[in-house]
């Protein structure tokens, strides 16, 4: 049996806006947080000691981090090399440089020949000797179309067609790797990708209609005893046989990850009977304190202070969002807010003036199970006297547009109309992944 420590998505050097300069070191406190959390992972690896460390990709926000950020990452892997624990560093999308092969930020480890460190920047099988025997690690870095396709092959194709072609190539290439595996050795697939069944925070499918995703059945092959993933920041287990696991990011990169537990995965690898355990890391808390004061007829300040005191914000990254009417602005005691928030690690205050002109949602749009776009438009026009003159033209034009589209795709459900804030989170997360 082999012991493996698997973590991913370190993103060292990101989220500086949520930190402050440490006056003693001159370094942003969020870099110190990330370094400390990565160090906690490496501590565990050395304390055991494990036989192998797997890093699932996305070391930095981009492929050209400043030297001190590079150094913060490298100094932790140096500890593994000193302890003679082999490690595989997989290349994620944030690690790739646009300028050709070998451009990934992590390739420097191979160039320097750091003992025991393997860089996974292509689909390849590495047989690694550990103190408890050999293990095969198939590395599958973030795929772009240039990895498996040539320009003439993709010319004139839609994005969907390119993705289908890319998947077909991946299927063949992966099959080629699988066929030459030694069936007597324990085997891990280490991949940085979006699986079609991956979810995050708001329990929505991440993958729907968003770029290149890989079907889960590509990964759940009996030849793999464990599938170590990277890319999605929210820890999740996609399959148990074999285990297919996203450990998630090790630190909160921004507020969209406020509610997620961060950690790494400890794996006991054995042919056909792998066990794993998610191990939470103690990381800095993020809290959004939000209150609507605009409906209050009394002094809004006590409600605002109660909102702050309800949450344990000591040493947390905090954002206070309050909604108020323009007439209430003078009733807010800004000095008291700053005093109450001072125990936070960092904080931002976002007052949000509620416009007197904004209309409440039309009740007609909030009821029923699915509403036809024409009905929705009719309800809108009925509530806009200024559109009376052109209402017939609008409806006629809408009917023509709808006639040109497949009606199955354009029914608006009340759910869609209420999910705008989640959609914002969704966009934020996709940008980070
Ligand atoms: Mn990624």
Interval 175-221: pLDDT, tens: 999 999 999 999 999 999 999 888 865 444 554 445 678 999 999 99
Give the mean model confidence (pLDDT) for residues 337-343: 97
| Higher pLDDT pick, 58 / 390 | 58
CA 403 – CA 71 distance, rounded (Å): 59
pLDDT surpasses 70 at 389: yes
Q: How far is the CA of 414 from the centre of ligand 1 (A)?
A: 33
Residue 10 placed within a domain:
yes
Q: Which residues pair with 128 in a beta bridge?
A: 135
Asked whether residue 347 carries a pLDDT value surpassing 50, the answer given is: yes
- Quick one: 94 and 221 in the same domain? yes
**Contact (Cβ atoms closer than 8 angstroms) between residue 270 and residue 277:** no
| pLDDT given at position 169 | 93
Cα of 413 to ligand 1 centre, how many Å?
32
Is 362 a member of any domain? no
Phi, psi of 163 (to 5 degrees): -65, -40
Tell me how far the alpha carbon of residue 367 lies from the centroid of ligand 1, in angstroms.
39
- Give yes or no: residues 208 and 241 share one domain: yes
| Cα 247 to averaged position of ligand 1 atoms, centre (Å) | 12
* Position 82 pLDDT exceeds 70: yes
Q: What's the pLDDT tens digit per position in 107-153?
A: 888 888 899 999 999 999 999 999 999 999 999 999 887 777 888 88
Domain count for the chain: 3
Assigned domain for 232 exists: yes
Q: Is residue 189 part of a domain?
A: yes
Indicate whether 138 belongs to any domain: yes
Instruction: State the pTM of this model.
Output: 0.81
Give pLDDT, residue 212: 78
- The confidence band for 370, taking pLDDT boundaries of 50, 70 and 90, is low
Domain containing 103 — which CATH number?
3.60.21.10
Query: In which domain, by residue range, is 293 found?
Result: 286-357
Residue 193 domain flag: yes
Q: Does 119 share its domain with 136?
A: yes
Residues 308 and 220 in one domain: no
Together in a domain, 247 and 376: no
Using the mean position of ligand 1's atoms as its centre, give its distance from the Cα of residue 90 in Å.
11
Residues with Cβ within 8 Å of 21's Cβ and at least 6 positions away in sequence, in order, are 27, 28, 29
CB atoms within 10 A of CB 412: 14
List pLDDT tens digits, range 301-331: 999 999 999 999 999 999 999 999 999 999 9
Interval 33-42 mean pLDDT:
98
Calculate how far, in angstroms, residue 307's C-alpha sits from the geometric centre of ligand 1: 35
Residue 418's pLDDT is 41
Backbone dihedral angles phi then psi of residue 23, each to the nearest 5 degrees: -65, -25
Which element (helix H / strand E) includes 189?
A: strand 187-192
CA–centroid distance, residue 230 to ligand 1 (Å): 7
Query: Final residue of a domain: which of 280, 304, 339?
Result: 280
Say whether both 295 and 349 belong to one domain: yes
d(CA 58, CA 62): 8
Residue 423 lies in a domain: no
Determine the average pLDDT of the residues in 234-259.
Answer: 95
pLDDT above 70: percentage of residues in the chain: 85
* Alpha-carbon 263 to chain mean position: 14
Higher pLDDT, 123 or 157: 123
> Does one domain contain both 81 and 191?
yes
Residues 172 and 192 in one domain: yes
168 and 222 in a single domain? The answer is yes
In a domain, 404, yes or no: yes
Q: What is the pLDDT of residue 390?
A: 84
Q: How far, in Å, is the centroid of ligand 1 from the Cα of 61? A: 9
Residues 176 and 106 in one domain: yes
Tell me: do 308 and 401 sit in the same domain: no
Confidence (pLDDT) at 414: 42
pLDDT of residue 429: 56
Q: How much distance in Å is there from the Cα of 3 to the middle of ligand 1?
A: 25
Q: Is the pLDDT of residue 19 over 80?
A: yes
Are 294 and 411 in a shared domain?
Answer: no
For ligand 1, the distance from its centroid to the CA atom of residue 322, given in whole angstroms, is 33
Ligand 1 center from residue 241 Cα (angstroms): 24
Spatial neighbors of 165 by CB under 8 A, at least 6 apart, are 149, 153, 154, 157
């Amino acid at each position: 049996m082999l012991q493996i420590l698997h973590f991913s998505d370190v993103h060292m050097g990101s989220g500086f806006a949520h930190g402050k300069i440490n006056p003693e070191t001159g370094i942003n406190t969020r870099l110190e947080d990330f370094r400390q959390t990565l160090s906690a992972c490496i501590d565990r690896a050395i304390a055991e000691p494990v036989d192998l460390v797997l890093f699932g990709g996305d070391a930095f926000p981009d492929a050209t981090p400043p030297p001190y950020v590079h150094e913060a990452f490298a100094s932790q892997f140096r500890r593994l090399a000193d302890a003679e624990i082999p490690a595989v560093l997989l290349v994620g999308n944030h690690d790739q440089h646009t300028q050709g092969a070998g451009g990934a930020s992590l390739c420097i480890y191979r160039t320097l020949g750091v003992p025991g460190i393997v860089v996974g920047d292509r689909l390849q099988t590495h047989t690694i000797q550990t103190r408890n025997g050999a293990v095969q690690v198939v590395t599958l870095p973030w795929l772009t179309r240039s990895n498996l396709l040539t320009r003439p092959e993709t010319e004139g194709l839609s994005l969907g067609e390119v993705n289908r072609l890319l998947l077909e190539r991946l299927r063949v290439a992966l099959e080629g790797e699988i066929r030459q595996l030694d069936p007597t050795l324990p085997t891990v697939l280490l991949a940085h990708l979006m699986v079609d069944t991956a979810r995050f925070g708001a329990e929505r499918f991440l993958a729907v209609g968003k770029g290149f995703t890989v079907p889960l059945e590509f990964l759940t092959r009996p030849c793999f005893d464990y599938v170590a993933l990277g890319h999605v920041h929210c820890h999740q287990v996609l399959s148990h046989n074999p285990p297919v696991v996203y450990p998630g990011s090790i630190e909160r990169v921004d507020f969209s990850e406020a509610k997620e537990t961060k950690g790494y995965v400890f794996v006991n690898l054995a042919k056909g009977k792998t066990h794993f355990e998610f191990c939470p890391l103690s990381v800095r808390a993020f809290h959004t304190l939000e209150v609507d004061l605009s409906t209050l007829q009394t002094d809004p300040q006590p409600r605002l202070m109660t909102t702050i005191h309800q949450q344990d914000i000591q040493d947390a990254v905090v954002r206070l969002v309050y909604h108020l009417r323009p007439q209430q602005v003078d009733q807010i005691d800004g000095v008291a807010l700053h005093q109450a928030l001072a125990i936070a690690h960092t904080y931002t205050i976002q007052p949000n003036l509620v416009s007197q002109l904004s209309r409440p949602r039309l009740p007609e749009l909030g009821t029923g199970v699915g509403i036809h776009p024409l009905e929705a438009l009719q309800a809108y026009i009925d509530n806009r006297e200024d559109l009376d003159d052109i209402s017939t033209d609008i409806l006629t034009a809408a009917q023509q547009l709808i006639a040109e589209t497949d009606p199955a795709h354009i029914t608006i459900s009340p759910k869609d109309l209420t999910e705008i804030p989640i959609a914002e989170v969704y966009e934020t997360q996709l940008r980070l992944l």
